[in-house]
Amino acid sequence: MSQRAGQLARVIAAVWRISLAEAIAYRVSMLMWVLTTTFPLVSLALWSGLAAGARSATTPARTSWRTSWRRS
Protein backbone atom coordinates (compact mmCIF):
# COMPACT_ATOMS: atom_id res chain seq x y z
CA MET A 1 0.00 0.00 0.00
CA SER A 2 2.80 2.41 0.79
CA GLN A 3 4.22 2.15 -2.72
CA ARG A 4 0.79 2.76 -4.21
CA ALA A 5 0.27 5.83 -1.99
CA GLY A 6 3.62 7.27 -3.08
CA GLN A 7 2.75 6.71 -6.72
CA LEU A 8 -0.66 8.33 -6.21
CA ALA A 9 0.98 11.33 -4.52
CA ARG A 10 3.35 11.76 -7.50
CA VAL A 11 0.46 11.56 -9.95
CA ILE A 12 -1.58 14.08 -7.99
CA ALA A 13 1.43 16.43 -7.79
CA ALA A 14 1.98 16.15 -11.56
CA VAL A 15 -1.68 16.82 -12.33
CA TRP A 16 -1.64 19.80 -9.96
CA ARG A 17 1.47 21.27 -11.66
CA ILE A 18 -0.07 20.82 -15.12
CA SER A 19 -3.33 22.39 -13.99
CA LEU A 20 -1.50 25.34 -12.47
CA ALA A 21 0.52 25.83 -15.66
CA GLU A 22 -2.69 25.77 -17.74
CA ALA A 23 -4.36 28.30 -15.45
CA ILE A 24 -1.39 30.65 -15.66
CA ALA A 25 -1.24 30.28 -19.46
CA TYR A 26 -4.95 31.05 -19.69
CA ARG A 27 -4.61 34.20 -17.61
CA VAL A 28 -1.57 35.39 -19.54
CA SER A 29 -3.38 34.88 -22.83
CA MET A 30 -6.36 36.80 -21.46
CA LEU A 31 -4.07 39.64 -20.39
CA MET A 32 -2.46 39.69 -23.85
CA TRP A 33 -5.92 39.82 -25.45
CA VAL A 34 -6.98 42.73 -23.23
CA LEU A 35 -3.78 44.65 -23.94
CA THR A 36 -3.97 44.15 -27.70
CA THR A 37 -7.64 45.10 -27.71
CA THR A 38 -7.23 48.30 -25.71
CA PHE A 39 -3.88 49.44 -27.15
CA PRO A 40 -5.45 51.10 -30.22
CA LEU A 41 -7.75 53.09 -27.95
CA VAL A 42 -4.86 54.19 -25.75
CA SER A 43 -2.82 55.08 -28.81
CA LEU A 44 -5.72 57.07 -30.25
CA ALA A 45 -6.12 58.99 -27.00
CA LEU A 46 -2.41 59.79 -26.85
CA TRP A 47 -2.21 60.94 -30.47
CA SER A 48 -5.38 63.01 -30.09
CA GLY A 49 -3.94 64.69 -27.03
CA LEU A 50 -0.70 65.43 -28.83
CA ALA A 51 -2.54 66.75 -31.88
CA ALA A 52 -4.75 69.00 -29.77
CA GLY A 53 -1.73 70.57 -28.07
CA ALA A 54 0.30 71.04 -31.25
CA ARG A 55 0.09 74.08 -33.46
CA SER A 56 -1.31 73.49 -36.91
CA ALA A 57 0.54 74.44 -40.10
CA THR A 58 -1.77 77.41 -40.68
CA THR A 59 -0.95 79.32 -37.52
CA PRO A 60 1.31 82.38 -37.96
CA ALA A 61 3.81 81.07 -35.42
CA ARG A 62 4.29 77.94 -37.48
CA THR A 63 4.62 79.62 -40.89
CA SER A 64 6.77 82.55 -39.80
CA TRP A 65 9.98 80.55 -39.88
CA ARG A 66 9.36 79.58 -43.49
CA THR A 67 9.03 83.14 -44.71
CA SER A 68 11.58 84.78 -42.41
CA TRP A 69 14.57 83.68 -44.47
CA ARG A 70 13.09 85.23 -47.61
CA ARG A 71 12.83 88.65 -46.02
CA SER A 72 16.53 89.00 -45.32
Q: What is the pLDDT of residues 38-70, one digit of tens each?
A: 988 888 888 888 888 766 555 555 555 555 555
The whole-number pLDDT of residue 62 equals 52
Give the span between the Cα atoms of 34 and 27, in whole angstroms.
10
Q: Whole-model pTM?
A: 0.54
Give the span between the Cα atoms of 20 and 28, in whole angstroms.
12
Segment 12-28 mean pLDDT? 97
Indicate whether 70 belongs to any domain: no
Indicate whether 20 belongs to any domain: yes
> Between 18 and 57, whose confidence is greater?
18
Share of the chain above pLDDT 70, in %: 72
Domain count, the chain: 1
Q: How would you class 66 by CB atoms within 10 Å of its CB: exposed for 0-12, middle for 13-18, buried for 19 or more?
A: exposed
The whole-number pLDDT of residue 11 equals 97
Indicate whether 57 belongs to any domain: no
Q: Mention every residue, 6+ apart, whose C-beta is less than 8 A from residue 61.
A: 55
Domain region containing 22: 1-45
Indicate whether 59 belongs to any domain: no
Indicate whether 64 belongs to any domain: no
Indicate whether 33 belongs to any domain: yes
